[in-house]
Structure 1
């Protein structure tokens, strides 16, 4: 049984692989941390809905610009679920200030990071997982 999970929803499989490798490099993906990744926002959303009642501390790394549905559309759906212990980190190539501002309008969004995942973001994720820097 996992007590913490990190899920990535990003339509770019290379970004997912890079993020996973960096999380491994900084020892974030340790025993007890479940890692899930989805290139389809719909599949990722279905996964979250199916596991929404679990007592797991969840971190979601969410891209904005995706073809099936945008990260904001995913956030709209997540906002309807009354999720507990759920923290969203936007991880996007978008350089738009309006995207950043819009992301912070969602209570679930804790931070907005630009790709690639950098040490600052990894330390922040670690903090939310309850690990020391």
Structure 2
């Protein structure tokens, strides 16, 4: 079951990443609960509507996004997924890159798994390794 969960959530996050790179706000939103909250180190908790509005307006865009699912734990209709994520894009015209640990909480609905919460934690170990290599 765990291998099935890993593959299933890897596929889900791969499809969500494709929607994010396409900068398609409605498609991005289709992966999340209406009250989805994303917690980032830069801005703390943010609402789904604000994230999608930033994508729709072009203030936020992504050119790359990838996830590697490390663990997926399913508890009935709730799943917690731990992934390593990397992405590249721009925020208000300023380029950015990110290397993060991503914790996603999904709820199973009739349409499939929808994300309720996302928490992004910077991968400081990768940043430290890059500093050593420089």
Alignment TM-score, normalising by the size of structure 1: 0.25
Bigger CA radius of gyration? 2
Q: Structure 1 or 2: larger helix share? A: 1
Q: Structure 1 or 2: larger strand share? A: 2
